[in-house]
Structure 1
Amino acid sequence: MTTTIAERTTELFTRILPRISTVRAPYQAAVFRIGLSAVVLAFLVREWPHRHELYGNSSALSFDLAQILVREERTFTVLIWGDGGLWFETVYLLTICAALAVCLGWHTRGMSVVLMAGVLSVINRNSLAGDGGDNVVRIMVIYLVFTRCAQVWSLDARRRARRAQHPGVTSADTSADLPGPALWAVALAPLAALSAHPTAGWLPVFWILWSVHGVWYAVERWFPRHEMRAVLDAAASMLHNCAMLVIAVQVCLIYATAGWYKIQGTRWQDGSALYYALHLDYFSPWPTLSGFVANQTLLVLALTYGTVMVQVAFPFTLAHRKIKNALLALMIMEHLGIAVLLGIPFLSLAMVVCDAVFLPTPFLVALGARSALLAARVRTRTRGSSRVGWVGPATDHNEAEEGCESAAGMRLQRQGGARTTPKPAVPEPRRIDDVAADEAGAAARTQQ
């Protein structure tokens, strides 16, 4: 009996392990990375003229009050290490650079930690200056650190693809990997300085992250084919899957709590909550548009009740793909409407980024392929108009078309069908001077 239970347990573990040790939802993680870092970048650039009034020493929360608030709330920020303007500017600019690097997917593993530290430092310096979007961003940048969000649509993925074309070249032979270890070595100085300041329990977290990154770089550089590399890869994939699950659960909790709290409000019960929100001066960037929408009684009633129903129902529709996708589209449109009508763009964009975690993979694959096809066409036209070269379909075109076909194949596979349409033939590329010669000959024949 004991042997049978042990065998079944081993068999079950053997089946589950390959699934949980493989990266799940890589495209959703990439969209989450790009969107979240873009929101942070846009927010920091937008508030650049007002950065000192919001998070600097010119804010309503003075440096002394900020120190007291940080100690009481046990939050993390490096901006209380000094009240000098140079230190504030350094942290602010470094956060902007980290957001840009993460958006592009440049050494994402290390830059995501820098982005997390920068975002927490800036927002926690004055946590009273926020609209709700800062809370979402603070939570999500922490989760982002534990995801493998640069598997696709990143400079890291392109560097790995180029390395795969040369199997004999390891990471130790490529200069493109040097910034990663360099960032790891430079991070030792801030960590040493961090040990002398109160961090509310964050110091062990940063030391663990720094040590894990060091082990990863060492194994990838000197033991790329050792079994330890496979173990680290599987562990990172499992951590990624757990982080993506936590992100999805967090989004569901946000919508569930928001929806159920709305149900308890009298204005939401009688359907007039949106009407009163549109008449608040603070949330009326376009008074004429807000007044026009507020005067549409049936529309306001439908939007008020529809918001509550969509938010409450969404967590229960995840098991049904079509209903989930329909509600997802409604919620994205709802957030875009909030961004325009109520003037809360960064909260709305942050929630749209969180909603993107639930987008279907075939849609994201097709979107990426079509974007690559469009970019390849633009590059081809630019090169063709600037110098003599090859014209006609490029390699990027072929890759993008294959991506579109793979997305279509994924949809057909889910529907139980098979792709029978043959792939269209791609003509051979021709030189620009050959094309010009053909056109000149055709013109001469026409004149004759």
Structure 2
Amino acid sequence: MGNEQIPHHHPMPATPHRPAGHGTSVVRTVHRWLLGRIGAFWTLLTDRPVSLYAASVLRIGYGLLYLAFLLREFPHRDEIWGPGSPWTPALAEQLFDQTGWNSFLVLSDSRAYFESCYVMALITSALFVLGWRTRAISVLFAVVVTSFHARAIFMTDGGDNLVLLMAMYLVLTACGRRWSLDARRARLRTARTGSAPEPVRSFCAQQLRDARTTLTTVVHNCAMFVIAAQVCFLYGSAGLYKVQGPTWGGGTALHYALNLELFQPWPALSHLVDEYPLLIAIAGYMTVLLQVAFPFVLFGRLKYPVLTLLLSMHMGIALLMGLPLFSGAMIIADAVFLPDRFYVFVSHLWRRATQRTGMYPPAPRRAAGTGSVPSQGGPNKPSAKRRATPAGQRGTVLATGRTSDQD
């Protein structure tokens, strides 16, 4: 017993000490971060309309594009959409029963009715470009584009489909608040009233006014986000579809496209470009790379060279393949990704150039403080310009417009 050894007990390793409530503090931090992100998104969505200049560029661009399209097809209007078309109104109505499309062009076989509809479409497109009563005219423009698209649906292409989608999206936007007759009328009205006090409204009237302004802002912002998402999806899906093809992977896709007689407006030019196979292969690979990478470069400065290369690509398609409508529709759609400060800068350059040549009178000097943008609510609501702009919004579209203006 005396020689027995007492076993040695090793102490258990000490567990790291965590202060009480450590997990709770992490949860609270994450909760505060989520609330901050949600608040920033809600402010971006409801505070003021984004990309007012970009929306105006879309309105002017697609209005001009469709007006030029109707004028270009004016000699062939009867064979495409009119009573003399091989695709008769009876056949069109049978297709409408299956597809759900509709068109006001099939309501009558009268030539006078068709000619009046065509003139109405031309006038609507012109008024849409000018921005006169944009809310009502945008709806009428969407109806015109939809009716003409559905009447000759077998003669449409990707450019027509994109113009149709954009025409419907622009109905929901405030695309008449910049560079339009509506904006000019609002400026003249503001100049006439001057510093006159606003009429006193009741509490209910003011609440209804604020609710209408907020609803218009939210609908506009959502529509602009949908337009941007539509363009991203278009580019991304086109790039991924090309990756699956062996000709794009082998760098020979553009070679076959240049030798299609249907897409050779100038055969000599197409054959000249086809004599440089290395450049054609590089252009094919760059096309796939730009389209696949486009949705991932929108939130940085890399988007500007990408947009420039895409502009060159679409101009090449219009020139070499004879697809000006498709190229024009895509170039106009890319304009949604340029911030408003870019359009303001271009507008200032244009104004200076016209003032130097005497085409535009010099703008009167504004008094101090007249250039500030008021809040979208009433006078008691704090101005949104005093709020700090989130860092994530600086590289995206910026709003510089007044939300209380009407289209």
| Shorter-normalised TM range | 0.7 to 0.9
1:11: Cα distance to partner? 8.4
SS of residue matched to 2:153: coil
Distance in structure 1 (CA, Å) of the matches to 2:147 and 2:124? 13
5+ long unaligned stretches in structure 1: 171-219, 383-393, 400-413, 416-448
Distance in structure 2 (CA, Å) of the matches to 1:282 and 1:229? 56
Task: State the number of aligned residues.
Answer: 336
Task: Map residues 31-42 of structure 1 onto 2, 5 A cutoff.
Answer: 31-42=57-68
Task: Map residues 199-348 of structure 1 onto 2, 5 A cutoff.
Answer: 226-320=206-300, 322-348=301-327
Q: Which of 1 and 2 has higher RCO (CA within 8 Å, sep 6+)? A: 2
1:84: Cα distance to partner? 1.4
After superposition, the C-alpha distances for 1:21-68 in whole angstroms (9 at most, x for unaligned) are 211111111111111111111111111111111112222312211111
The counterpart of 1:352, out of the listed 331, 349, 365, is 331
Aligned to 2:342: 363
Distance in structure 1 (CA, Å) of the matches to 2:87 and 2:193? 56
Structure 1, 355-364 or 255-264: larger mean CA deviation:
355-364
Task: Map residues 9-48 of structure 1 onto 2, 5 A cutoff.
Answer: 17-21=42-46, 22-48=48-74
5+ long unaligned stretches in structure 2: 1-23, 367-393, 396-407
1:168: Cα distance to partner? 7.5
Distance in structure 2 (CA, Å) of the matches to 1:279 and 1:397? 57
Distance in structure 1 (CA, Å) of the matches to 2:210 and 2:291? 41
1:287: Cα distance to partner? 0.7
SS of residue matched to 2:96: helix
The counterpart of 2:362, out of the listed 368, 371, 395, is 395
Q: TM-score normalized by structure 1? A: 0.69
1:12: Cα distance to partner? 7.8
Whichever residue aligns with residue 87 of structure 1, its letter is Y
Aligned to 1:145: 171
Distance in structure 1 (CA, Å) of the matches to 2:365 and 2:130? 23
After superposition, the C-alpha distances for 1:363-415 in whole angstroms (9 at most, x for unaligned) are 2111112223333444x369xxxxxxxxxxx433868xxxxxxxxxxxxxx79
Q: TM-score normalized by structure 2? A: 0.76
From the two aligned structures, give the one with the greater helix fraction: 1
Aligned to 2:8: none
Aligned to 1:213: none
The counterpart of 1:135, out of the listed 141, 161, 164, is 161
SS of residue matched to 1:106: coil
After superposition, the C-alpha distances for 1:119-173 in whole angstroms (9 at most, x for unaligned) are 1111110100123211111111000100001121111111111111233899xxx
Larger radius of gyration: 2
Contact 1:30 1:153 in 2 (8 A): yes
- Percent identity of the aligned residues? 38
Contact 1:314 1:327 in 2 (8 A): yes
Cα 1:247–1:12 shift into 2, 3 Å: closer
Whichever residue aligns with residue 341 of structure 2, its letter is P
Whichever residue aligns with residue 313 of structure 2, its letter is E
Whichever residue aligns with residue 266 of structure 1, its letter is P
Distance in structure 1 (CA, Å) of the matches to 2:94 and 2:82? 15
The counterpart of 1:67, out of the listed 81, 87, 93, is 93
Whichever residue aligns with residue 70 of structure 1, its letter is F
SS of residue matched to 2:175: coil
Contact 2:63 2:126 in 1 (8 A): yes
Distance in structure 2 (CA, Å) of the matches to 1:23 and 1:91? 34
Aligned-residue RMSD, C-alpha: 2.9
